[in-house]
Amino acid sequence: MDTTIITTALLKISSVPPDGKPSHKLILMNPACLMITAKLSDLLGAKTVLLACNIVFLIFSMACGAAQTMNQL
C-alpha cells in the first residue's frame, strides 16, 4: 500500500532538497524492507507479520497526519 502512495510523489521525493544532498534512501529502503518482511514471514508466519506491518503502518500514518511542521513529519 505504501508503494502506491510513494510512486505518485516520487519526483518530489527524489528531487534534490535545499541542502543539496539527494535523498535516495527511501527508494533503496523499499526492496530491503521487502526482503526482511519475507524472511520474517517465513519465521513467524505470514498472518502475524502482516498484522504487525499493518499496525506499524497505521501508527506512522497517524503520526504523519498529526505532524504540524516539516521537522515533525
Reported as a single tens digit per residue, the pLDDT across 29-57 is: 777 788 888 999 999 999 999 999 999 99
Q: Which three cell numbers stand for residue 65?
A: 497526519
> What does the pLDDT read at residue 68?
87
Residue 30 near residue 37, CB atoms below 8 Å: no
Angle at 27 between CA 23 and CA 51, to 5 degrees: 125
pLDDT at 4 over 90: no
Residue 14, by phi and psi: left (phi above 0), alpha (psi -120 to 50) or beta? alpha
What is the rounded radius of gyration, in angstroms, for the C-alpha atoms of the chain?
Answer: 15
Separation between Cα atoms, residue 8 and residue 4, nearest integer Å: 7
Q: Tell me the whole-structure pTM to 2 decimals.
A: 0.57
